[in-house]
Amino acid sequence: MENMLCILLLEPVIPIWLIVVCGIVFFWLSWKTYAACGIGKKERVFLWTLRAAAFCIIAFLLTMPSVRHERREEEKPVLAVLLDVSASMEDRVVGVKGTRAEAAQSVLKSSWLARLKDDYRVMSFGVGRELEEGVPLDGTARFTAPQTRLFPALQQLRQRLRGENVGGILLLSDGLDQSGMSLDEMTFTAPILAAELEEPSEGRPETVTVDYSFSQVAYPKRVTKGWKISLTAHVERRGGNVTASFPVLLTRDGQEIKRETVTFEAEDKFAKAQFEIEATETGSFLYHIKMEPPADREASNNEKEILIDVTDEQNRILYLEGPPRHDFTYLKRALSTDKNLSMSAFIRGADGLFVSFDERRDAAVKPDLTNDNLRHFNVLILGDLPGELLKKEDVAAVKSFVEKGGGLLLFGGKHAYGKDGYLAKELLGDLSPAESLEGASMKEGTRYRVDFTPGGRALPAFAGILEDASFPALLSVWAPVKTGEFSTSVMETSDGNPVLVTRRYGQGKVAMLLSNTLWKWQLGGADGSGKGLYGRFITQLVHMLNPKDGDAGQDDVLRIVMASGEGELRENVAIGVIGLNAKGGADCLVKTPSGKTLTYSMREAKLDRQVGLRQPQDGWLCEFVPEEAGTYPINVKSRDGTQQAEAMLLVRRPEHELTGAPLNRELLNELCARSKGAFVPPSKLSEAAGKLKKEPRVLETVAEYPIWNRWHWLIPLLLLYCLEWYFRRKWDLV
């Protein structure tokens, strides 16, 4: 409702009586002037009126008039709806149907609250760990906050609404405040209406007083394939003093692995179950530990999820070669002398089938380039194979193998590097360190002096070989080639032709040898270990490609670092990355349990304890807040596609919220009483609304502005003078 009042104010330059006197004199003289003219009476009155009107306008402007607008407006009082969005609102209490969150949503959808919008301005707020403004009141609010800090939120709300006409606060909370504040520290300026979101305990079935929960689960987060894994689950009992015994189950992918029994004597508060399992496969595995107590107050804390990474320390190599050649014989011999390497070698026969040269004769090892087969190996060596051998699915498997951290050595010749070889762009061209140019071939007929480049000499992987003053000349080099943008030339001929080129691809490494006469280095004899220069060079090259024996240390590999692989809902998670050497930065892709993919841009930052590092280190950082419980696969990719890293985050519901505790009626009742409000069941909220303040606040606004200094006044003045001049000329007046 709005009222408007306009007032005209005058501030004359000279006294008004003087303006009136001047006007009388002006009117009289004007009339006398026109009376002496030879025109009719009507014409004389007309001209006199024009001149008098012009004088009146000037006299009005001399009073310096201004206009004042006084506006009175009624503003509705504010009704602040404070919704508790903590996880305890969805906690289920024994003997109560539904949850407190469901009861709160029913209040928000009630017709009573809709009617209040006619008399109040409704503002919504959420309370969890912090006060949040603008929480939806349409039933879509999410109850995932890890804590309920009710008292600080009410204090923040009072500061936020300072200066507003607050009619009252509608509080929808379970009252399980965890701030540690006292009611005596609170200041109330508006009545609080709190809804009783849970029925009273009278009439309920007798509740179970004992509660079993996992206080801690001790386990190694990363193990090696073949290790024995020990998992210890500590079970805590709250309440109860009788002897109890029940099973604890360890499962994976829904299948029970082991079962142990825990026993509580009468006075025991803790017991433990220990599991021994063997890591038989590599990868990341999610295990569930679940207890089955006979009587328990809260079942939601009877299960734990743990994530264990299993790696394979054995350096296994798959070598696929084309037609038989010297390179195969000497390379196989060199790698077989290294006890840390296990190689499975195959040669492609004339009939197109591969013949195994694996002395172990492991039936599980195949020459197939499939994901299932490649997962058993750390390094893949592709010899002089034709491109037609690689199918579309083989190409995808090889790229995936390298992206996830595998090593790839390209050791081909005319069949592999030629026009129809596997370096074609539609095959392995985009991960190759170099590409063949027009007319490329295996250049022979001369001796090529070779040496490491400055970049190659900086690689720790070849530290032992660098002691040799010179290397035997090569009799062949594949040229010309063009090295890729993200490649490093490690060894070159004296005229600049690359011999060994490397690059990163995803989390893995790729190396490319561009000569088929490296085997002649072996003819120079062997050292004390039984290896010649060729054997040392090849084995150190393979170790460099191995994902666990990086050539520049751990920090040269893109790694994701987090303070913990586990977290709670609505808690900020910092994701750090170190070892990013790519151009353009990186993006972090987080896949939620519901299948939605979130993309965050990584920013350069100093990483320290926020990601679990003891010493500060330069790196890249992004942050996000999980809104769902479950597993979050994390994938960090460099924007140029050369580096990639993966990790897993396990997000749980906050256990200190999900305790099965009932509504804190005493606190809510005292809170409402001190604020002169009411704590009532939802059905009686409409009656209790009378305690809210309904008086609207009257807002008065005054606006004052002058009107004498407007240019619009020139229009009537000019019009009057022009009319007078026109008719004076028309009637031949001087």
CB 511 within 8 Å of CB 500: yes
Q: Does 661 score more than 80 pLDDT?
A: no
Q: Does 377 score more than 90 pLDDT?
A: no
Indicate the SS3 state at residue 174: coil
User: What is residue 202's predicted lDDT score, i.e. its pLDDT?
Assistant: 56
Q: Does 204 score more than 60 pLDDT?
A: no
Higher pLDDT, 550 or 401: 401
The single-letter code of the amino acid at 336 is: S
Distance separating alpha carbons of residues 424 and 435, to the nearest angstrom: 8
Q: Smallest Cα–Cα separation from 637: which of 692, 589, 565?
A: 589
The per-residue pLDDT for range 242-272, each reduced to its tens digit, is 788 999 999 988 889 999 999 888 777 778 8
| Residue with token string 């190396």 | 511
DSSP of 47-91, one letter per residue?
Answer: HHHHHHHHHHHHHHHHT--EEEEEEEEEEPPEEEEEEE-BGGGGP
Distance separating alpha carbons of residues 40 and 94, to the nearest angstrom: 108
Using CA of residue 364, residue 367, residue 371, residue 376, what is the dihedral sign?
A: positive
State the DSSP H helix or E strand holding residue 336, giving kind and residue range, or none if neither: helix 326-336
Instruction: Label residue 528 by pLDDT band (50, 70, 90).
Output: very low
User: What is residue 83's predicted lDDT score, i.e. its pLDDT?
Assistant: 94
The per-residue pLDDT for range 276-316, each reduced to its tens digit, is 888 887 777 889 999 988 878 777 778 888 877 675 655 67
Instruction: Label residue 524 by pLDDT band (50, 70, 90).
Output: low
Query: Residue 643, class by beta-carbon neighbours within 10 Å (0-12 exposed, 13-18 middle, 19+ buried)?
Result: buried
Domains recognised in the chain with CATH numbers:
2-71+704-730 (no CATH), 77-201+662-695 (3.40.50.410), 211-311 (2.60.40.10), 315-545 (3.40.50.880), 558-652 (2.60.40.10)
Tell me phi and psi for residue 369, to 5 degrees. -95, 70
Q: Does 167 score more than 50 pLDDT?
A: yes
Mean pLDDT for the stretch of residues 653-667: 74
Q: Smallest Cα–Cα separation from 85: which of 680, 657, 662, 689?
A: 657
Tokens of 166: 């607050």
Distance separating alpha carbons of residues 536 and 464, to the nearest angstrom: 8
User: What is residue 548's predicted lDDT score, i.e. its pLDDT?
Assistant: 52
Largest CA distance in the chain: 142
The per-residue pLDDT for range 82-126, each reduced to its tens digit, is 999 988 888 877 667 788 999 999 999 998 888 888 889 999 999
Give percent of the chain above pLDDT 90: 18
Instruction: Label residue 201 by pLDDT band (50, 70, 90).
Output: low
DSSP of 139-168, one letter per residue?
Answer: S-----BS---HHHHHHHHHHHTTTS-EEE
4-13, 146-155, 530-539, 568-577: the lowest-pLDDT one? 530-539
The pLDDT mean for the chain works out to 82
Query: Residue 619, class by beta-carbon neighbours within 10 Å (0-12 exposed, 13-18 middle, 19+ buried)?
Result: buried
Indicate the SS3 state at residue 332: helix
Q: How many CB atoms lie within 10 A of CB 206?
A: 8
Residue 4 pairs with which residues in a beta bridge?
71
| Calculated CA dihedral for residues 170, 174, 180, 186, nearest 10 degrees | 20
DSSP of 19-35, one letter per residue?
Answer: HHHHHHHHHHHHHHHHH
Q: Does 451 score more than 80 pLDDT?
A: yes
Mean pLDDT for the stretch of residues 656-676: 83
Mean pLDDT for the stretch of residues 455-467: 74
User: What is residue 591's predicted lDDT score, i.e. its pLDDT?
Assistant: 92
Tokens of 558: 């893109």
Radius of gyration of the chain (CA): 43
Mean pLDDT for the stretch of residues 347-371: 70
User: What is residue 94's predicted lDDT score, i.e. its pLDDT?
Assistant: 65
CB 225 within 8 Å of CB 312: yes
Give how far the C-alpha of residue 77 lies from the chain's centroid of Cα atoms, to the nearest Å.
39
Distance separating alpha carbons of residues 726 and 528, to the nearest angstrom: 126
Q: Does 556 score more than 50 pLDDT?
A: no
CB 204 within 8 Å of CB 176: no
